[in-house]
Structure 1
Amino acid sequence: MRKQKLRNLAALLVVALVLGCWVGVAGAFVPGAGEAINQLKASGLYSNTDVNQTLVDLSNTSNGTVTSVTYIGAEQTRTDNTFSVVSQTYDAAMDRITSFCFELYNQYDPGGTDIGLSGILNLDNPILTVHVYTYGVQKDQLMYAFVSGIVDCLGNPPIRSSSGSSWVNNYSPAAMSSKVITSFKIGEKLITTTSGTPITMDVVPYVKDNRTFTPVRYLAYALGVTEEGVLWNEATQTVTIIKDDTTIKLTIGSTVLIKNKETIIMDVAPELVDPGRTMLPARWVSEALGATVTWDEVTQQVVIKQGT
């Protein structure tokens, strides 16, 4: 059955290339996927409860830059990313993106999840934005797998073996289940995370003295800490965060962070804002819990990654 699907995909590719364009869906063998994607296109929305979408701009691949804009769910939750990739032609980049989607389709299809893409390959008048759609029970995880793998797929050919390829091994459902990517955006109350539904905060991240301050409580939740694992002591103005075998303590106005028995001196002290939220640059708590933090100046987003 899988071989027949791949033959069908190959036939679609041949027809598309002969016509000088790429149309429709690569995948769409999960019942309802093609119709759901077409309905999303017709609605004028970027995503809905059934379909997610990422727009990948390949117009600057020759300069080694790719950008993506991802929309998740009925709220059309948006995440912007800018990637540095190996310099290559649009044609080469599109070929790699297509191959990567096929690899992901083969991994996620058994779980009732689909991936599709559409764009134009007419090099006389190219449309350089590729639309990638995910549908089905693991559509969120599959979309994050695709976005997470853009740099890899545009920089490294898959290393194939009898068990699959490096793309499969790095972005399979099992591999992605151990990774959590969280995004805070300046001035917005919504946290997007691959670990589950978006989290709505009652305060917004802000910039002060060139540092991005995020609410510690909601940051902890996004990093997998339970509500019971975040404790506030009014008398001592201390926040305690507990996750597995790690305990972190922060005190308002103090640059000392205690991780278990280790003392860490921060370069900024936590501060309180209405309605009583402790704010601190994200990297101190994130790194103490084993995550890594990056800042995207263009999109004004803090991106936190857990897992390898």
Structure 2
Amino acid sequence: MRMQKQKLRNLVALLVVALVLGCWSGVASAYWTDLIDQMTPFNTSGPESTAEVNQTYIDLTNVSSGSVTSATYIGASQTRTDNSYTVASQTYIDAMDRITSYVFALTNQYRPDTDMGLSGVDYLPTVHVYTYGTQKDQAMYSVVSGLVDCLGNPPIRGDGGGSSSSWINNYSPTAMASTTITSFKIGEKSITTASGTTITMDVAPYVKDGRTYTPVRYLAYALGVPESGVQWDEATQTVTIVKGDTVLKMSIGNTTMTKNGEIIVMDVAPELVDPGRTMLPARWVSEALGATVTWDEVTQQVVIKQGT
């Protein structure tokens, strides 16, 4: 109990330092403070995010069992993305310490055109992080993308440098600018990329035989393929995707895909659904274009990451 109280005192001391240095939302300009105060949870009837402020709830309830979740809201539409993470087992006080130091270090990297706010002591075991400014969307993706590393490493002290905290460079503005993260959620027709671009599809992803099928055309767009780079041949029922020097071809009902003429045998075949969309598990096209794909069973989302 004495050790736990000491950790709490240390955490409060750290948060006071953050307050003094401007990481804490309460010392933001009156304009930003007023906006944040109008949002949930400060005002239970307020929005979760606005056109100017994003918010994520990081739930540390089960962090002692190695499990953390986040609910992230982006923009005036309050687009929500849920994620779950397997992390190092720890107390929520230790986790809060790590998250606070991480957000503070990221803030130093994103300033002066973008800033962050954090609230936690009054809401434990839930931490609220806010981002605002010209790169607010990218900054929020930095926060949620780095949570596993954040909670698996010692708190970042000082200026955030040094070999022990070099992992933070994976979530710097430069690193995130070259990374696209897109989530396709079962039953939802809207996807949002890390750049903040929202794409509305005319068909939603679905599960069939334990596989998640996504519309190939919109998947290609999310991976940076221009509209002219997705071609459909009605006569042969073939989709051609062109991105740079890479050309992919696949046909309805055929498990063979070609990449620059090289044959790739898939374990499923593309299928056609109304209104004339070609559907295929995201992994095949994504990996052929250099992206990585993960499936989140809890949130029923396919998460696609492209870049560094």
Q: How does 1:215-230 map to 2 (within 5 A)?
A: 215-230=215-230
TM-score by length of 1: 0.87
Q: Which amino acid is the alignment partner of residue 265 of structure 2?
A: I
Q: Which amino acid is the alignment partner of residue 153 of structure 2?
A: N
Distance 1:149 1:35 in 2: 28
Contact 1:189 1:203 in 2 (8 A): yes
Q: How does 1:99-248 map to 2 (within 5 A)?
A: 99-110=101-112, 112-120=113-121, 127-157=124-154, 158=156, 161=161, 165-248=165-248
1:46-65 CA distance string (max 9 Å, x none): 11101111000011111111
Instruction: State the Cα distance separating 1:193 from its structure 2 match.
Output: 1.1
1:113-148 CA distance string (max 9 Å, x none): 111111226xxxx73111111111100000000000
Distance 1:192 1:90 in 2: 30
Equivalent residue number for residue 61 of structure 1: 63
Secondary structure of the equivalent of 1:154? helix
Instruction: State the Cα distance separating 1:35 from its structure 2 match.
Output: 2.2
TM-score by length of 2: 0.87
1:255-293 CA distance string (max 9 Å, x none): 000001210000110011111000000000000001111
Q: How does 1:252-291 map to 2 (within 5 A)?
A: 252-291=252-291
Instruction: State the Cα distance separating 1:10 from its structure 2 match.
Output: 6.9
Q: Is 1:84–2:79 an aligned residue pair?
A: no
Contact 1:30 1:114 in 2 (8 A): no
Contact 2:137 2:195 in 1 (8 A): no
Task: Tell me the percent identity.
Answer: 68
Q: Which amino acid is the alignment partner of residue 199 of structure 1?
A: I
Q: Which amino acid is the alignment partner of residue 133 of structure 2?
A: G
Instruction: State the Cα distance separating 1:33 from its structure 2 match.
Output: 2.4
Equivalent residue number for residue 49 of structure 2: 47
1:169-195 CA distance string (max 9 Å, x none): 221110101111100000010112113
Unaligned 5+ residue runs, structure 2?
1-11
1:178-220 CA distance string (max 9 Å, x none): 1111000000101121133111000010111111100000000
Instruction: State the Cα distance separating 1:301 from its structure 2 match.
Output: 0.6
Q: Is 1:35–2:34 an aligned residue pair?
A: yes
Distance 1:10 1:120 in 2: 12
Instruction: State the Cα distance separating 1:245 from its structure 2 match.
Output: 1.1
Contact 1:105 1:115 in 2 (8 A): yes
Over the aligned positions, Cα root-mean-square deviation in angstroms equals 2.4
Distance 1:192 1:85 in 2: 25
Number of residue pairs matched by the alignment: 288
Distance 2:148 2:204 in 1: 30
Unaligned 5+ residue runs, structure 1?
1-8, 17-23
Contact 1:70 1:80 in 2 (8 A): yes
